[in-house]
Each structure stands twice: as structure tokens, then as C-alpha cells.
């Protein structure tokens, strides 16, 4: 699904867009696969208008995200409900946004090149901003057994509990004298 908007058609009069993203819309970038995808169709309601040189994009995202737990690796769903507001400025003198030096006041703005805005990428970026640093299925997730890999949330494993540093395990059978 393409959500490309021609900015030449955007004026001071707000234009509203609504997009429904099906679960197969999410494609991970390979860098951070904690977001597995959408658990159900999600909706983006966006308003875009021009304010002088800049474009203002306001939006609301609703749906369910599917994550992989950082401790136990199980899949779990979390609600996606977020409002956002972006100020978009044309890149000065045609420079690429990555080449610009920003002041503190510029950090609330985003720079765009060309006459098209890919709302698909904007929505994807906003979803990434919602991902917590640590994705846990539950605050008290016990994770995996470091010996056998069993999920400790579903029960205790039968592994012998290791005491001491694992580097000394080779010395367990050593008898002196």
C-alpha cells in the first residue's frame, strides 16, 4: 500500500487522510526485530496542512502491535494508541537531510526533500518511537533458563542449578592427593 502525498497540492486548508494498515503491512528492517508486526488491522488518521514554509502533519495511530519478548522470546500483543505532530521543512538549498547541521530549535522539525511525502515511512517511524527500550511480555517475566533454554514462565526446568563461576566447571572432577 502506498501512502505518497504530493505536497504541491497541500495548502493552508487541512487535508485529512485515513489509512488502514493490514497485518502484513509491517516489514521489519532487520535491525530491530522486536516488532514482529501488526496483530490486527491498524488505522492512521492524519491531517496535513501548510503553515508558511513548513508543513504540519498531525496524526493518530490505533491498533495492536505484536512484539517478541526480550527475556523469554514469546510473542505478545500491545495496544497501539498514539497522537503525534510533526513540522516538516523543505531542506535548505536542496541539501540532503543527513547533511544538515541542526540547532536546538531545529530538533522538533523534520526536513524533507522533493515534492512528495511518504506517509508510509512517517507512520513506520512513529511506530518505532513507541517501542520501549525493553520489550517484555510482563513486568515479572522470568525469561529463559540459561542452561537448557526452557521458558521459566511456564514452569521450572529440571536443570541442575549451577553455583559458582561457569569457568571453573572443568575443575569439578579434579581430586588432589
Among candidate residues 52, 55, 64, the one with its CA nearest the CA of residue 21 = 64
Q: Give pTM, 2 decimals.
A: 0.74
Give the rounded percent of residues in the chain with a pLDDT score beyond 90.
Answer: 46
Q: Looking at the 3D structure of the chain, how many domains does it have? A: 2
Q: Are residues 25 and 73 in the same domain?
A: yes
What residues make up the domain containing 176? 142-177
Q: Are residues 90 and 130 in the same domain?
A: yes
Q: Are residues 133 and 148 in the same domain?
A: no
Q: Are residues 26 and 67 in the same domain?
A: yes
C-alpha of 148 from chain center: 30
Q: Are residues 170 and 129 in the same domain?
A: no
**What span, in angstroms and rounded, lies between the C-alpha atoms of 175 and 177?**
7
Least-confidence region, from 33-37, 63-67, 106-110:
106-110
Q: Are residues 27 and 87 in the same domain?
A: yes
How do residues 96-131 score in pLDDT, each as one tens digit? 555 555 554 444 677 888 888 999 889 988 998 888
Q: Are residues 15 and 62 in the same domain?
A: yes
How do residues 3-21 score in pLDDT, each as one tens digit? 888 898 889 999 999 999 9
Q: Are residues 153 and 132 in the same domain?
A: no
Q: Are residues 92 and 153 in the same domain?
A: no
Amino acid at each position: 500500500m502506498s501512502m505518497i502525498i504530493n505536497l504541491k497540492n497541500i495548502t493552508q486548508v487541512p487535508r485529512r487522510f485515513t489509512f488502514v494498515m493490514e497485518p502484513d503491512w509491517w516489514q521489519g528492517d532487520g535491525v530491530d526485530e522486536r516488532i514482529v508486526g501488526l496483530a490486527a488491522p491498524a488505522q492512521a488518521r492524519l491531517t496535513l496542512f501548510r503553515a508558511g514554509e513548513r508543513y504540519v502533519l498531525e496524526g493518530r495511530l490505533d491498533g495492536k502491535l505484536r512484539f517478541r519478548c526480550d527475556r523469554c522470546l514469546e510473542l505478545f500483543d500491545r495496544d497501539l494508541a498514539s497522537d503525534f505532530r510533526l513540522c516538516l521543512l523543505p531542506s535548505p538549498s536542496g541539501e540532503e537531510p543527513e547533511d544538515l547541521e541542526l540547532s536546538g530549535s531545529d530538533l522538533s522539525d523534520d526536513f524533507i526533500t522533493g515534492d512528495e511525502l511518504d506517509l508510509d515511512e512517517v507512520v513506520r517511524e512513529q511506530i518505532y518511537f513507541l517501542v520501549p527500550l525493553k520489550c517484555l511480555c510482563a513486568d515479572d517475566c522470568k525469561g529463559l533458563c540459561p542452561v537448557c533454554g526452557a521458558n521459566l514462565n511456564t514452569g521450572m526446568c529440571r536443570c541442575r542449578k549451577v553455583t559458582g563461576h561457569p569457568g571453573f566447571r572443568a575443575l569439578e572432577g579434579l581430586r588432589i592427593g
